[in-house]
A = this chain, B = another copy of it.
Amino acid sequence: MSLPHAILTALLEKPSSGLELTRRFDKSIGFFWSATHQQIYRELGKLEQSGLIRALPQLPSRGQRKAYEVLPQGRAALVDWIAESQDPKTAREPLLLRLRAAAVVGAPGLAAELERHLALHERQLAEYLEIEERDFPVEKAADENRLQHLVLRAGIGMEAFWIQWLTEALAGPLAVASAGPVPGALTGPAAMPQAE
């Protein structure tokens, strides 16, 4: 149930139309919770029906843009959600899954993928650092911005972690000892010192 609350937060920051929200989800909010415009429109409809937001009186300018604002009920729902007890979900990392699979059947082509991911993470880190420099300059470290800055620091830390890990992974051999990529040659299932 994160999407509706992400939308409430975005609308509190600034009342917006569906498309404007979509644009904003491509940037800051979407760094930690992406959403397509279809999801957003559907969720806006639900939120309006639930009485948590309402459409602002139409500005009859261009297009049919409908802007929404958060109602007191919506704000209250958001406050409740913040304090809810939610366990961290077990991570879903297809890349690690692929590494583990490569340990069993061989790893041709995997190094290229790791390098590609490394480049992507480096680009993302650069983008985060740019935002930090722009919005949270060292000279004015204010307490009011602390939460926003913490969110950004989390993004920076995660990217830095992946870059370090991928670099370490690419530094050593990726091939597995016995198993080749030959489809027919089944390796023995027994010799797995991996944790179960």
User: Which of A's residues lie within 8 Å of B, judged by CB?
Assistant: 2, 5-6, 8-9, 12-15, 24, 27-34, 70, 72-73, 75-76, 78-79, 81-110, 112-113, 116-117, 120-121, 131, 134-135, 143-148, 150-155, 157-158, 161-162, 164-165, 168-169, 172-174, 176-178, 181, 183-184, 186-187, 189-190, 192-196
Contact of A105 among B78, B117, B186, B187 (CB under 8 A): B78
Instruction: With a 10 A CB-CB cut-off, give which of A89, A106, A189 has the most chain B CB atoms.
Output: A189
Interface of A is mostly: helix
Decide: A107 near B82, CB < 8 A? Known: A93-B154, A147-B99.
Answer: yes
Min CB gap A146→B, angstroms: 6
> Is A153 within 8 A of B165, CB to CB?
yes
> Is A107 within 8 A of B157, CB to CB?
no
> Is A94 within 8 A of B145, CB to CB?
no
> Is A143 within 8 A of B88, CB to CB?
no
Copies in the complex: 2
Nearest residue (CB) in B for A143 is B173
Q: In whole angstroms, how far apart are the Cα atoms of A192 and B177 in the complex?
A: 55
> Is A82 within 8 A of B95, CB to CB?
no
Contact of A151 among B92, B100, B183 (CB under 8 A): B100
Decide: A113 near B85, CB < 8 A? Known: A92-B32, A169-B150, A181-B79.
Answer: yes
Please name 11 further chain A to chain B contacts, defined as beta carbons within 8 Å, in addition to the given A2-B97, A82-B101, sorted by A numbering: A9-B97, A9-B101, A9-B104, A27-B195, A31-B91, A83-B108, A83-B109, A86-B95, A96-B151, A147-B176, A152-B195
Min CB gap A169→B, angstroms: 5
